[in-house]
Amino acid sequence: MKFDEEVEKLKEAGVVAGTFLFIDDDMIKVASVWQIVPKTVVQLEDDEEIEDIWDLVSFDPSELMRLAGLPLRRYTDLFHRMRLFNYIYPDGTIAKEVRAIINQKLSARFGLKT
């Protein structure tokens, strides 16, 4: 299994339909900082398999919490849901739909054209 191939499968699956009602400002914070938090990916041999691609990614959750400005319980809940709904991906990217919502918020709040 190749990491990049598995991430592409997640991206192709897309976000879970009907879940955009759950996006709030805290989720936008987590998605925004997810892209910049350093991550390490464990490389597997070609014949190795793993149940969950996320098990190959390590990062410092306290850094993500600190940058997002969220308490542990809130961060943990949001991160779990964002993974489940395919809003964020193990390679540090975010779903294009979530990116569009972030851009819309930036435009509305700060007048930024993104």
Question: What percent of the chain clears pLDDT 70, i.e. is strictly above it?
Answer: 96
pLDDT, tens digit, 9 for 90 and up, residues 23-63? 889 999 999 999 999 999 987 777 777 778 898 999 999 99
Q: How confident is residue 111, by pLDDT bands cut at 50, 70 and 90? A: confident
- Domain hosting residue 102, numbered range: 3-110
Q: How confident is residue 102, by pLDDT bands cut at 50, 70 and 90? A: confident
Domain total of the chain? 1
Q: What's the pTM?
A: 0.85
> What is the full DSSP assignment across 61-90?
HHHHHHHHT--HHHHHHHHHHHHHTTSB-T
Distance CA 72, CA 47 (A): 37
User: Is residue 114 over pLDDT 90?
Assistant: no
